[in-house]
Amino acid sequence: MSIPAAPSTETPSVFTARQLLEQPTLFATLDPAVTLCVFGDPVAHSISPAMHNAALKACGLPGQYVRLHATAEEFPAALRALAKAGFTGANVTIPHKPAALAICDEVEERARLCGAVNTVLVDGEKLCGFNTDGPGFVRALREEFYVDLRDLRVLLLGAGGGAGRAIAVQCALERCERLCLVNRSPEKAKALATELAPRFSSDRLLGPTERCVWAEWTEDCLAQEIAQSDLIINASSIGMRRTDPAALPAHLLTANLLVYDTVYAGGRTPLLENAEAAGARAANGLSMLLHQGALAFETWFNRSAPLEAMRAALQAH
Ligand code: NAP
* pLDDT tens by residue, 161-193: 999 999 999 999 999 999 999 999 999 999 999
User: Has residue 8 got a pLDDT over 90?
Assistant: no
Residue owning the nearest CA to atom 39 of ligand 1? 289
Q: For 101-133, write each residue's pLDDT tens digit.
A: 999 999 999 999 999 999 999 999 999 999 999
Q: Which atom of ligand 1 is nearest to the CA of 165?
A: 26
User: Has residue 5 got a pLDDT over 80?
Assistant: no
Query: Which residues, other chains included, contact 23 with Cβ-Cβ below 8 Å and sequence gap of 6+?
Result: none
Q: CB–CB of 118/94 below 8 Å?
A: no
Per-residue pLDDT band at 267 (split at 50, 70, 90):
confident
Query: Which residues, other chains included, contact 269 with Cβ-Cβ below 8 Å and sequence gap of 6+?
Result: 234, 238, 239, 244, 246, 247, 261, 263, 284
Q: Is 48 in the pocket of ligand 1 (CB under 6 A)?
A: no
Distance 197 CA to ligand 1 centre (A): 22
Q: In angstroms, rounded to a whole number, what is the distance separating the alpha carbons of residues 98 and 271?
A: 29
Of the chain, the percentage scoring pLDDT greater than 90 comes to 90
What is the value of pTM for the model shown?
Answer: 0.94
**Closest Cα to residue 273, out of 256, 262, 261?**
261
User: Has residue 1 got a pLDDT over 60?
Assistant: no
* 97: annotated active-site residue: yes
Q: In angstroms, rounded to a whole number, what is the distance separating the alpha carbons of residues 39 and 31?
A: 20
pLDDT at 265: 83
Q: CB–CB of 199/175 below 8 Å?
A: yes
Which residue among the candidates 57, 97, 188, 190 is catalytic per the annotation? 97
Q: CB–CB of 307/295 below 8 Å?
A: no
pLDDT at 210: 87
Q: Is 263 in the pocket of ligand 1 (CB under 6 A)?
A: yes
**What's 237's DSSP letter?**
S
Angle at 289 between CA 113 and CA 296, to 5 degrees: 60
Q: In angstroms, rounded to a whole number, what is the distance separating the alpha carbons of residues 25 and 86?
A: 8
User: Has residue 89 got a pLDDT over 50?
Assistant: yes
pLDDT at 167: 98
User: Has residue 137 got a pLDDT over 60?
Assistant: yes
Residue 138 CB neighbours (<10 A): 21
Q: CB–CB of 224/248 below 8 Å?
A: no
User: Has residue 281 got a pLDDT over 60?
Assistant: yes
Q: In this structure, are strands 126-130 and 119-123 parallel, antiparallel, or unpaired?
A: antiparallel
**Closest Cα to residue 310, out of 279, 286, 280?**
286
> Please, what is the average pLDDT of the chain?
93
User: Has residue 226 got a pLDDT over 80?
Assistant: yes
pLDDT at 4: 41
User: Has residue 48 got a pLDDT over 60?
Assistant: yes
